[in-house]
Amino acid sequence: TDSVLVEPSLYTVKAVLILDNDGDRLYAKYYDDTYPTVKEQKAFEKNIFNKTHRTDSEIALLEGLTVVYKSNIDLFFYVIGSSHENELMLMAVLNCLFDSLSQMLRKNVERRALLENMEGLFLAVDEIVDGGVILESDPQQVVHRVALRGDDVPLTEQTVTQVLQSAKEQIKWSLLR
């Protein structure tokens, strides 16, 4: 017997994608094997971009999946779940990711700034979703944890830019006290 009721699962997120305004991948993390090869992933990303980049809505059903998305300047953010997934849960992930990046990039959420801060993006996504399970939906917590994890990098592995940025931050905070 084929049950219509789907067992609830913690594995809510199938993928998190960020594409540029040509539909090219800047970031993609797939949490299951719905699209096992890079070729299939890229085809799906092209399809999703073509269906969403001219619309004002935030939700699409595509290839049997629920897609929530948001665009900003030259970036398109996507969170993908199964067709029976709660859109509000996926939206919470999307908004948390966007708001976290917005804080981390000082409201400058666009392609160049993102590419200069890919490490922060990787850390943020890892704080929000782990293996498809939503861990966090509060951007304040995500930014805080990313900052802590960023501090764990030994000084030898930090770039000069990171050291200067860290120094600027410390000066700024000491002036704000």
pLDDT for 4-52, tens place per residue?
666 777 889 999 999 999 999 999 999 999 999 999 999 999 999 999 9
Q: What one-letter code names the amino acid at 2?
A: D
Helix, strand and coil in the chain, % to nearest 5: 45, 20, 30
pLDDT for 63-81, tens place per residue?
999 999 999 989 999 999 9
The pLDDT, as a whole number, for residue 42 is 97
Q: Where are the domains of the chain?
A: 13-150
CA 93 remoteness from chain centre:
8
Give the CATH architecture of domain 13-150.
Answer: 2-Layer Sandwich (3.30)
Q: What is the mean pLDDT of residues 47-58?
A: 91
pLDDT of 86 higher than 70: yes
The pLDDT, as a whole number, for residue 62 is 93
CB contact at 8 A, 12 and 89: yes
The pLDDT, as a whole number, for residue 122 is 93
pLDDT for 119-170, tens place per residue?
999 999 999 999 999 999 999 999 998 988 766 655 445 566 666 777 777 7
